[in-house]
Chains A and B, each alone.
Chain A
Amino acid sequence: MIIQIFTILFERKNFFLDLLWQHIYISFTAVIIAAVIGLGIGIFIERFRCTSKIILSIVNFMYTIPSIALLGFLIPFSGIGNKTAIIALIIYAMLPMVRNTYIGLANVSPAILEASEGMGSTKWQTLFRIKFPLAFPVIFSGFRSMVTMTIALAGIASFIGAGGLGVAIYRGITTNNFVMTMAGSLLIALLAIFFDVILNFGEKLLTKRKKGKYLYNIIIGIVCIAILIKFIVPTFLVPVSNTIHIATKPMTEQYILGEMLKELIEHDTDLSVKLTSGVGGGTTNIQLGMESGKFDLYPEYTGTGWNQVLKEKGLYTEKLFEEMNKKYQKDFNMMWYGMYGFNNTYGLAVSKKIAEKYNLRTYSDLAAVSDKLIFGAEYDFFEREDGYDALSRTYHMNFSSTVDMDIGLKYQAMKDEKIDVMNIFTTDGQLTGADVTVLEDDLSFYPSYKAGNIVRVKTLETYPELKNVLLKLEGIITDSDMAEMNYKVETMKQEPGNVAHQFLLEHRFVEE
Chain B
Amino acid sequence: MKDKIIFKDISKTYGNKEILKNINLKIEEGEFIAILGPSGCGKTTLLKLVNRLLTFDKGSILIDGKDILESNPVDLRRNIGYAIQGSILFPHMTIEQNISYVPSLLNGNDKKRTKMAVYKWLKIVGLDESLLERYPDELSGGQQQRVGIARALAASPDILLMDEPFSAVDEITRKNLQDEIIRIQKETGITILFVTHDVEEAMRLGTKILILNNGSIEQFDVPENILSNPASDFIKELIKYQ
- Identify the A interface with B (CB < 8 A): 109, 111-112, 114-122, 125, 129-130, 133-134, 136, 209-210
Contacts and interface: CB of A to CB of B under 8 A. Distances in A.
Which of B51, B75, B79 has the most chain A CB atoms closer than 10 A to its own CB? Answer: B51
B77 A120 contact: yes
A111 B88 contact: yes
Nearest to B163: A118
Q: What band does the interface of chain B fall in when counting residues whose beta carbon is under 8 Å from A?
A: 20 to 34
B224 to A, nearest CB: 32
A282 B77 CA distance: 66
A331 B76 CA distance: 71
Given A114-B84, A115-B84, A209-B135, A120 B90 contact: no
Nearest to A132: B92
A136 B80 CA distance: 30
Contacts of A111: 84-86, 88
Given A114-B84, A119-B152, 10 more contacts: A111-B85, A111-B88, A118-B84, A118-B161, A119-B78, A120-B75, A120-B105, A130-B90, A133-B92, A134-B91
Nearest to B75: A120
Contact of A112 (B82, B88, B135): B88
Nearest to B102: A119
A473 to B, nearest CB: 67
A210 B134 CA distance: 10
Contact of A116 (B79, B90, B133): B90
A129 B105 CA distance: 10
A442 B219 CA distance: 115
B53 A114 contact: yes
Nearest to A125: B105
Given A112-B88, A130-B90, A133-B92, A118 B53 contact: yes
B90 A117 contact: no
9 contacts: A112-B88, A114-B53, A115-B84, A117-B77, A119-B78, A119-B82, A120-B75, A122-B74, A133-B92
B220 interface: no
A415 to B, nearest CB: 73
B119 interface: no
Contact of A118 (B77, B86, B105): B77
A136 B78 CA distance: 26
Contacts of A209: 135
Which of A118, A121, A134 has the most chain B CB atoms closer than 10 A to its own CB? Answer: A118
A133 B97 CA distance: 13
* Nearest 8 interchain pairs by C-beta: A120-B78, A120-B77, A118-B82, A133-B92, A111-B88, A115-B88, A119-B102, A120-B74
Contacts of B85: 111
